[in-house]
Amino acid sequence: MDDVYLAFCDQLQQAQLGQVALLDEDDGLLMRWAQICDVMLQQLESQQEALGTEQVDSWMLERNTWQLVQALYAERLAEVRASSSESASTSANPYTPPLSVAQHLIEHDKQLVELSVRHTAKRRYLRSSGSLPSPRFAIRDWLHSIPTTLNPAEVRRGYLPWTKNKIKQAKRSGQPLPRGIVKQLDPDAVLREAKNAQGGAGGRLESDDAAYEKALLRSLFEYVRAGQLDLAIDMCRQSDQSWRAASLSGGKLASDRALASSDSGFGQDEDAMDDELLQGGSKISGNVNRRLWKMMCRKLASSPNLDPYERALYGAISGDTASVLPVCSSWEDIVWVHVNSLFEAHVESGLWHSSSGRYWSHGSVQPIDDSTKRGVKSTIDPEDALLAPAAKGIRSELESIFDRLLKLERGDVAQASKNPYRVSQTYLIVGKIGDLLTTFVERLEVAAQDTEPEALAHLLRFFTHLILVLRLLNQPLPTHPANRILEAYISVLEANDQSESLIAFYASQLDSTSAIESYAHFLLTFGPDSDRQSRKLALLKASEHGLDLAAIACRTVELVLQDVRDDMLTELNEDRRLGSSEAFDAYARIDARQLELIRSLEWLTFDRRTYSEALTQANALTRYFLSTDIPHAARELIFQLPADLLPIEAAQVVEKKGEDRDAQIREFLDYTSLFACLEKHTRWAEVWSRKPRTNAPKLEHNAFKDGIATLIDDFYESTVLLLNSDWLKLELSLNDGNLDTPRRLAELARIRQLVIPHLVLRLHFTLYDSREILPSYVCDLVNALQTNPLTISPILLMHSSLQRCFELANLVADERTQLYLEFVGERTNLIGDYLDQVRLASLAALEVGKDRSAFSVA
């Protein structure tokens, strides 16, 4: 199946580039798609799949549908020939031959062209019977190409040889013929003697001849069903039934080269005529009494004593339906019967009501009354069996035909009418492709539940390519259903692990918004386990097919983070606090969901055009992580971003001033400052955990103290700098029209209330725990004591760590920073906890003063 996805896409791309014609009946896009279906059918047969299975039927019906699309749109999009003035041609030549009139009629009526059968050369037409010329492939010819069966009987020379031998033997021997055997061999002998026989005992052929006749009649009908009347006539001649060949040839329209001159307005194919004459033909051909011939064929077809296939044979060539339907076994057969009848009736009506050639149709050269001219359907006599089907328009009659098929008592045909491919064929024929797509989309959800995934994928591929080829043909299609089908097909490609290039191509066929949405959903399939390079290649494939790379990257991240935004609203309604320094762990293990969120921002870092959005989303996600007590994820996110992101954004702010961009950069820098502080605390904690034993060498103790002192200095200075910097206090205008601004300010305020108390407590605990370690400037203090010991107060002998605890408390209480406000919430109050810790530091300081009093006296 994977090869099919690629094969259809490859042919479509070639057509879009102009390398493949769309409607070429030999090697166009539609015919190539039909050939792909044929290849699949051959593969199924080679795998010994039973013919008639659902899978085989699907491929066969899809192939037939592509052929129908080619047939219909080759006609519908062909230019109609400019018709000459009919009144002028009428007065100049009322003897225009019926063949020329019919040809002109068909070529200038698009609906008749759709119904007609193709004959690429008039020479072929002149040898056929009952078929009318059309320059292209259309509905009736399409139906001819898909007969149910075609198993011609063996050609046998000699006319009724077994019966003839029986008659000869009886005459030679003087013995009577076996009971019921015909006494004569003329074509009517069987019917005549059966009618005259007593008790129905007469009018039969010898068994071998009867069997051959039955097989021959079926073969002749099958040839006609397949649009090969000329082969049926040839088979009659080869079987020494020239009389039957003549009876089948009566539908040939009369033509006379002399009367069909260019002066009449109906030009002739001179080369075709010359070829006909060179091959022994006559310039005069066809049946002048064709209407009478049709009536006789119908009379014959209505005879109940004839073989069903003989009745169907003559009914088919005369446009009858009642005599043909009994031998039809498939939906296509029945549609062909009605289309054939409709076409023949409209041509017959056109000949009857046309002013041209009125001598042949009315036996007079007098002008036809306006009320009876072709096109006035009200003048058709409903009792005229040859014309009655033409009373309605072709399109409305076709709709009526398909409606009747759905209501047939034959359940198999009614069920076949509901097959999605046949439904598509129906809508295509009646020209309601928009209704087809709308109906399919309406039933798509139900179909997804009731249909096997493989069958649904098959249907979606078909409908997707039908939409795309009709777009190439500039056909109007309903936008929503078309996009919905394409989106569903893209989902199928994703589910079948198709390549990024393939998915990007089909996403590019959607309208701009849908294309972005669909490809973004595809990129979501690249989970946290996918490598960065694979993600980058998948995103860049979008630009190769004309998709907006930046918009897709942004939308992908939005889809990943949309749940996060909902969670943020919940978090804002909760008053959470970090109770201790251990609660804020920036180095905890990251789970799969957190990693997915972090890596989602990678989509915004592959192209510098999305750096601005990357910064915005990074800040938003960091706010989420910090507000939900996941600092380790926030830290990982900050350090995963490209090193050049901030410099590039800063340069753009200089070039294009913007308050929001400046605020985004400031917010990001504040986060990096926070994690720089936490990193310094972590380094202190690591060294502190390796404190030397009490009996360790003095040199080791001194080295440890020096190292700890340096780390404490670094952590203290960084944290105080952060607390003095109005951390996360951004100046954002509520009147900028951005609906996210109030929410963002609330999130920032929330994070300050969570982080600042924790950071203050963490620094306080660090200073307090290391109070026994003298800082580097104690040496200066000792020197001062030696110089003037009486001037040194004992309180100055306390550890600088404790002194910094008090400096930190002063900073928290400072009205300029108002950090104390961050300790107080609606339902919690951490200021009391902090003051308790400051009290312990004060007690420790008093202890230090007591211990140093003796030293000061000395």
Q: How confident is the model at residue 130 (pLDDT cuts 50, 70, 90)?
A: very low
CA distance 739 to 746: 12
Tokens matching residue 534: 């694979």
Specify the amino acid at residue 365: V
Residue 290, pLDDT above cutoff 80:
yes
255 forms bridges with which residues in the sheet?
A: 285
Residue 330, pLDDT above cutoff 80:
yes
**In the predicted model, what is the mean pLDDT of residues 801-816?**
92
204 forms bridges with which residues in the sheet?
A: 181
Residue 775, pLDDT above cutoff 50:
no
Architecture of the domain delimited by 161-330+343-399: Orthogonal Bundle (1.10)
Other Cβ atoms within 10 Å of 827 Cβ, number: 8
**In the predicted model, what is the mean pLDDT of residues 52-80?**
87
Q: How confident is the model at residue 572 (pLDDT cuts 50, 70, 90)?
A: low
**In the predicted model, what is the mean pLDDT of residues 165-184?**
86
Helix or strand (DSSP H, E) at 295: helix 290-301
CA distances from 769 to 320, 698, 766, 842 (A): 107, 21, 5, 13
Specify the amino acid at residue 111: Q
Q: What is the pLDDT of residues 177-225, one digit of tens each?
A: 888 888 888 888 888 887 776 555 567 889 899 999 999 999 999 999 9
Q: What is the pLDDT of residues 385-441, one digit of tens each?
A: 777 777 778 888 889 999 988 888 777 888 899 999 999 999 999 999 999 999 999
253 forms bridges with which residues in the sheet?
A: 287
Helix or strand (DSSP H, E) at 514: helix 512-523
Residue 325, pLDDT above cutoff 90:
yes
Report helix, strand and coil shares of the chain as percent, to nearest 5. Answer: 65, 0, 30
Q: How confident is the model at residue 794 (pLDDT cuts 50, 70, 90)?
A: very low
Specify the amino acid at residue 758: H
**In the predicted model, what is the mean pLDDT of residues 38-66?**
83
**Phi, psi for 788 (deg, rounded to 5):** -150, 75
Specify the amino acid at residue 36: I
Q: What percent of the chain has pLDDT over 70?
A: 80
Q: What is the pLDDT of residues 841-858, one digit of tens each?
A: 999 888 876 554 433 332
Q: What percent of the chain has pLDDT over 90?
A: 46
Give the 3-state secondary structure of residue 356: coil
Q: How confident is the model at residue 806 (pLDDT cuts 50, 70, 90)?
A: very high
Q: Is the full-model pTM beyond 0.95?
A: no
- Structural contact between residues 646 and 671, judged by C-beta atoms closer than 8 angstroms: no
Q: What is the pLDDT of residues 440-485, one digit of tens each?
A: 999 988 888 888 899 999 999 999 999 999 999 999 999 999 999 9
CA distance 664 to 661: 5
Other Cβ atoms within 10 Å of 491 Cβ, number: 17
- Closest of 358, 319, 422 to residue 100, by C-alpha: 358
**In the predicted model, what is the mean pLDDT of residues 521-543?**
90
Range in 49-53, 61-65, 312-316, 536-540 with the lowest mean pLDDT: 49-53
Q: What is the pLDDT of residues 243-286, one digit of tens each?
A: 999 999 998 888 877 676 554 444 445 555 555 555 555 567 88
- The pLDDT of residue 786 is 53
Residue 617, pLDDT above cutoff 60:
yes
Alpha helices in 226-323 (DSSP H): 229-238, 242-248, 270-278, 290-301, 308-317
Q: How many CA atoms lie within 13 A of 68 on its CB side?
A: 25
**In the predicted model, what is the mean pLDDT of residues 110-134?**
47
CA distance 522 to 536: 13
Q: What is the C-alpha radius of gyration for the chain, rounded to an integer number of angstroms?
A: 46
**In the predicted model, what is the mean pLDDT of residues 101-106?**
76
- The pLDDT of residue 70 is 93
